[in-house]
């Protein structure tokens, strides 16, 4: 049984499947997932159970509960927003575990990873579960140039112990110099690929970005894996990217790129 840390409130934009994770006690929610996956004979479910045991040890449940109380307080909560769905400490990780499987993170040598637009920081936790080193990035708060204090993403990244740096990605602007190069750059539903007028990037802008990653950010055999938002892509751009990627899924808009010579 899952006990509530915060009394449930109406959240019209949040799906019912997330409500126990949003309002429930962290350990109850995680232990429920562990029990469910341990009862399965499926090997991937068993791996999920191992991950949630790892998450249980990684996260301070007291701090998680304090975060819930702060983010779900009446003065903070925006009922018509869906952002609090990311408080759910289980379901969001499962899609990232699938991505980790696609990238074969379990069997890779230790890899330095840059996660652009890390948001609620789920992918870095999964990658570190498999033994990799991850730096997350997010858009800097416009008045200070630093990450925004008090935002839900900031709170979750701290609770999940994910290192983050401020980073703004702009079309036709090279990324800043990093302290090291990365074997893998990831982005999950990041919104960087919009111009100043909120229009999706052109093919030329994507070519500039990908070539900049190849030349200045990635190691010699580095890779890019992205899950893109359908409403931030034109059909022409998606066709261009997907036809040149090593792997692409048209429904979820996932692309995996290892050969950058195919891009302008």
Q: Which pLDDT score is estimated for 210?
A: 97
β-bridge partners, 115: 136, 186
How many Cβ atoms from other residues are within 10 Å of residue 42's Cβ?
9
234 lies in a domain? Answer: yes
The sign one gets for the Cα dihedral 188, 194, 238, 215 is negative
CA separation for the pair 62, 7 (Å, rounded): 17
Q: Are residues 79 and 188 in the same domain?
A: no
End-to-end CA distance of the chain: 55
2 lies in a domain? Answer: no
- Predicted TM-score (pTM) above 0.85: yes
In which domain, by residue range, is 73 found? 16-87
Residue with tokens 């112990």: 161
Over residues 19-41, the pLDDT tens digits come to: 999 999 999 999 999 999 999 99
Query: Looking at the predicted structure, is the pLDDT value of residue 142 above 70?
Result: no
Looking at the structure of the chain, the number of domains it has is 2
Q: Are residues 219 and 192 in the same domain?
A: yes
Q: Are residues 83 and 95 in the same domain?
A: no
Interval 208-220 mean pLDDT: 97
235 lies in a domain? Answer: yes
Q: Which pLDDT score is estimated for 62?
A: 98
192 lies in a domain? Answer: yes
Query: Looking at the predicted structure, is the pLDDT value of residue 145 above 80?
Result: no
Q: Are residues 95 and 80 in the same domain?
A: no
Q: Are residues 46 and 64 in the same domain?
A: yes
Q: Which pLDDT score is estimated for 147?
A: 67
Last residue within a domain, chosen from 50, 66, 87 = 87
Residue 243 CB-half CA count within 13 A? 8
Over residues 183-209, the pLDDT tens digits come to: 999 999 988 999 888 999 999 999 999
Q: Are residues 213 and 99 in the same domain?
A: yes
């Amino acid at each position: 049984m899952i006990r509530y840390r915060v009394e449930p409130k109406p959240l019209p934009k949040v799906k019912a499947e997330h409500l126990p994770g949003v309002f429930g006690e962290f350990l109850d929610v995680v232990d429920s997932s562990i029990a469910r996956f341990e009862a399965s004979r499926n090997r991937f479910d068993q791996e999920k159970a191992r991950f949630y045991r790892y998450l249980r040890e990684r996260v301070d449940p007291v701090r998680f509960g304090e975060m819930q109380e702060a983010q779900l307080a009446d003065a903070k909560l925006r009922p018509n927003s869906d952002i609090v769905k990311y408080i759910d400490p289980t379901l969001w990780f499962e899609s990232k575990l699938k991505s980790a499987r696609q990238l074969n993170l379990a069997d890779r040598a230790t890899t330095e990873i840059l996660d652009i637009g890390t948001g609620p920081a789920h992918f870095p936790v999964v990658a570190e579960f498999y033994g990799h080193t991850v730096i997350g990035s997010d858009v800097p708060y416009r008045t200070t140039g630093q990450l925004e204090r008090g935002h839900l993403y900031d709170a979750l990244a701290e609770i999940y112990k994910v290192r983050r740096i401020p980073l703004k990605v702009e079309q036709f602007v090279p990324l800043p110099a990093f302290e090291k190069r990365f074997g893998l750059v990831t982005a999950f539903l990041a919104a960087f690929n919009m111009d100043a007028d909120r229009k999706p990037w052109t093919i030329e802008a994507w070519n500039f970005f990908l070539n900049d990653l190849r030349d200045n950010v990635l190691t010699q055999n580095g890779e890019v894996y992205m899950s893109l938002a359908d409403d931030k892509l034109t059909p022409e751009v998606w066709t261009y990217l997907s036809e040149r990627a090593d792997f692409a899924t048209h429904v979820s808009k996932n692309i995996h790129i290892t050969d950058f010579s195919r891009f302008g």
